[in-house]
Homo-oligomer: A and B are copies of this chain.
Amino acid sequence: METSRKRPRVVVVGAGFGGLWTAKRLARYPVDVILVDRNNYHTFLPLLYQVAAAEVGPEEISSPIRTIVRDFGNTEFTMADITGIDLKAKVVLTRGKDIHYDFLVLAIGSVSNFFGIPGAEEHAFPLKTMDDGIDLRNHILSRFELAYKETDLEERRRMLTFTIVGGGPTGVEYAGALAELIRGPVSKDYPGLGRREVRVVLVEAQDHVLGMMPEALRAYALRRLRSMGVEVLFGTSVRSIAERGVMFHDGTVLPTETVVWTSGVQGEPRLGSWGLPQTAGGRIAVLPTLQVAGHPEVYVVGDLAGFEEDGRFLPQVAPVANQQGAAAADNIERQVRGVAPMPFRYRDPGIMVTIGKNAAVARLAGISFTGFAAWLLWLFVHLMNLIGFRNRIVVLIDWGMDYFFADRSARLMLSCRKRPGTGNLKPGS
């Protein structure tokens, strides 16, 4: 296990986009890399909402990390949950052995930010990890089973009201995917339980969806959502969430058993106690070189990095994480050579959001697309960015099944049992 100490050791914490792209770039350089993640797989988060909508299976949007890093040559994977960092001793602390570093790249992403709303932590469904996706899938599918048996109309309606908080890309994409799940497989499998009885409610505090998009694209997305039967409530924010309903700021209550939280993210809350400078939203403040002030050997990339450009924080999206990962790797190599690190500059590749069958909005190189062309582009870009030939093919098959037959096969309600002795690697498993 112990690698040669002649080459500097880079510890990369987190195997999401940021961490993986750091390791991938570091494969070119004469360093030893230890990649740490709490899971044994990388999750392709842009398609996580499709797991939660039973459109693709968990296996299809994930890949074993060991298999990915096999080709890197200089990367060793360790499955561990980190519990702290000793910046002085240059050591990452885990439940097992501590890991010494010469350079550290923190890429542990973000968690949901519930803004202290009462009941949100307990009752809202986040959509940030594979486990979240599977949980939400189980929950949604069981609502249909329960409602189908329920004779009390009010209860039935409550079970069939799906509330999504946040009109950003995830909220819009999930609302669209749910609306199609209901229009297709659900209406076919639960005769009589159709669009009229099932509600998808998208709640947004502002007066528009997709705030980062130009006005024309926002309007298109809204029109599409509404034509698919999604109710969009603007200027509405959440005061509290309970098991059987959500209360809005004006005191009205929506009876619902499902509140999906896509509204806000923040840095890993435990980071506050690890001695790193934080920005608003719990991110870690970084220098233009992605280093932490006072710790030239510590880099932060991806959602966790509070990186300001032109006076604004960069968005917490995959392309930022990928580019920052590569940039951090390049800067580490410069430091190893004794050269000063370079400031990072984001090259915005644009943004794409799909709303449903044949419908998407895209903004690329200053040009706006909508409709079928944007949708095809969205499919192509997501498919090509999936890791592994097998996953691309299987996702394509599932999309085809959904598109041509309105059928979704990934509709398993898995129960989870705790077995003694099996869970000592994963907290909560």
Q: Please tell me if the beta carbons of A424 and B142 are within 8 angstroms of each other in the complex.
A: yes
Choice from B62, B67, B417, B428 contacting A428 with Cβ under 8 Å: B417
Shortest A198–chain B CB gap in Å is 15
- With A142-B425, A149-B1, A425-B146 as known contacts, state yes or no: A388 contacts B415, CB within 8 Å: no
- With A189-B66, A390-B397, A390-B398 as known contacts, state yes or no: A417 contacts B414, CB within 8 Å: no
**Chain B neighbourhood of A185, CB < 8 A:** 64, 67
Binds B, one of A325-333, A336-344, A404-412: A404-412
Q: Please tell me if the beta carbons of A131 and B414 are within 8 angstroms of each other in the complex.
A: yes
A421 to B142, CA, bound (A): 10
A139 to B393, CA, bound (A): 28
Q: Within 8 Å of chain B (Cβ to Cβ): is A294?
A: no
Q: Please tell me if the beta carbons of B70 and A420 are within 8 angstroms of each other in the complex.
A: no
Q: Would you list which residues of chain A between 187 and 232 have a CB under 8 Å from chain B?
A: 188-190
A416 to B190, CA, bound (A): 28
Q: Please tell me if the beta carbons of A257 and B421 are within 8 angstroms of each other in the complex.
A: yes
Copies of the protein in its oligomer? 2
Choice from B41, B190, B413, B423 contacting A412 with Cβ under 8 Å: B41
Choice from B79, B142, B420, B429 contacting A426 with Cβ under 8 Å: B142
**Chain B neighbourhood of A130, CB < 8 A:** 412, 414
Q: Within 8 Å of chain B (Cβ to Cβ): is A96?
A: yes
**Chain B neighbourhood of A58, CB < 8 A:** 57, 59, 412, 414
Q: Please tell me if the beta carbons of A78 and B409 are within 8 angstroms of each other in the complex.
A: no
A401 to B123, CA, bound (A): 41
Q: Would you list which residues of chain A between 71 and 92 have a CB under 8 Å from chain B?
A: 78-79
Shortest A144–chain B CB gap in Å is 9
Q: Within 8 Å of chain B (Cβ to Cβ): is A312?
A: no
A419 to B140, CA, bound (A): 13
Q: Within 8 Å of chain B (Cβ to Cβ): is A240?
A: no
Q: Please tell me if the beta carbons of B391 and A394 are within 8 angstroms of each other in the complex.
A: no
**Chain B neighbourhood of A397, CB < 8 A:** 390, 393-394
A424 to B419, CA, bound (A): 20
Residue on B with the closest CB to A59?
A: B57
Q: Within 8 Å of chain B (Cβ to Cβ): is A243?
A: yes
Q: Would you list which residues of chain A between 88 and 135 have a CB under 8 Å from chain B?
A: 96-97, 122-123, 125, 130-131, 134-135
**Chain B neighbourhood of A67, CB < 8 A:** 185, 188-189, 407, 409, 411
A122 to B96, CA, bound (A): 26
Q: Within 8 Å of chain B (Cβ to Cβ): is A273?
A: no
Choice from B70, B149, B420 contacting A189 with Cβ under 8 Å: B70
Q: Please tell me if the beta carbons of B415 and A426 are within 8 angstroms of each other in the complex.
A: yes
A366 to B342, CA, bound (A): 75
Closest 3 CB pairs of A and B: A416-B416, A415-B429, A57-B59
Interface residues of A (CB under 8 A from B): 1, 39-41, 57-60, 62-64, 66-67, 70, 78-79, 96-97, 122-123, 125, 130-131, 134-135, 138-139, 141-142, 145-146, 148-149, 151, 185, 188-190, 243, 257, 388, 390-391, 393-394, 397-398, 401, 407, 409-429
A-B contact pairs, 30 of them (CB 8 A): A1-B149, A39-B413, A57-B58, A57-B60, A59-B59, A59-B409, A59-B412, A66-B189, A67-B189, A67-B409, A96-B149, A97-B149, A122-B420, A130-B412, A131-B417, A134-B414, A138-B422, A139-B419, A142-B425, A146-B425, A390-B397, A390-B398, A391-B409, A394-B397, A413-B425, A413-B426, A415-B428, A415-B429, A416-B429, A417-B428
If A57-B59, A58-B59 are given as contacts, then 16 extra A-B residue pairs at C-beta distance below 8 Å, sorted by A number, are A1-B148, A39-B413, A41-B411, A62-B412, A64-B409, A123-B421, A142-B422, A142-B425, A145-B425, A390-B398, A393-B397, A413-B426, A413-B429, A415-B423, A416-B418, A417-B428
